């Protein structure tokens, strides 16, 4: 039972999905801060109300709160960094160790033939210089 759970958790798509959900939730606060503290106050300066609930009513003073957006962006970056360093990096290391133990080699990138030819030409011209 525990082995099956371990195999389920070790699948890359489960971790990717979990990371996407957490990052999506953190990014939602950035968007909320942008809309509620920057865009809506700018619109309210033009229209005269801080929201569209009382479109023609005279509202309180309008304050554009860039600091709220900045706080949300910093919080998002901190959450993203925490997820990367606590979840993604260790999971990638475990996958690399597992693949090495199983003898699975990483796929090599295909080199463009033109780049390969130019590299050979460069290397053959070096002794002449």
- Secondary structure letter of residue 112 according to DSSP: P
What's the rounded Cα separation, in Å, for the pair 53 and 128?
78
What's the rounded Cα separation, in Å, for the pair 90 and 128?
48
Q: Where are the beta strands (DSSP E) in the chain?
A: none
Tell me, what's the pLDDT at 52? Answer: 53
Tell me, what's the pLDDT at 67? Answer: 67
What's the rounded Cα separation, in Å, for the pair 110 and 13?
25
Burial zone of 125 (CB within 10 Å; 0-12 exposed, 13-18 middle, 19+ buried): exposed
Tell me, what's the pLDDT at 59? Answer: 45
Under 8 Å between Cβ of 51 and 40: yes
Tell me, what's the pLDDT at 49? Answer: 59
Q: Mind listing the pLDDT tens digit of every residue in the chain (129 residues)? A: 788 777 777 676 777 888 888 888 888 888 878 777 777 777 778 766 555 554 444 445 555 667 667 777 777 887 788 878 877 888 889 888 888 888 887 776 677 888 888 888 888 888 876
């Amino acid at each position: 039972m525990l082995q099956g759970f371990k195999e389920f958790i070790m699948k890359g798509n489960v971790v990717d999905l979990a990371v996407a959900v957490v990052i999506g939730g953190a990014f939602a606060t950035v968007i909320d801060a942008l809309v509620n503290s920057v865009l809506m106050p700018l619109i309210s300066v033009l229209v005269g109300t801080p929201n569209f609930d009382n479109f023609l009513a005279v509202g309180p003073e309008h304050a554009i709160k860039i600091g709220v957006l900045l706080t949300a962006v910093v919080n998002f970056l901190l959450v993203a960094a925490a997820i990367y360093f606590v979840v993604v990096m260790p999971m990638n290391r475990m996958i690399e160790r597992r693949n090495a133990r199983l003898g699975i080699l990483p796929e090599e990138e295909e080199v463009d033939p033109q780049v390969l030819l130019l590299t050979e030409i460069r290397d053959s011209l070096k002794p002449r210089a």
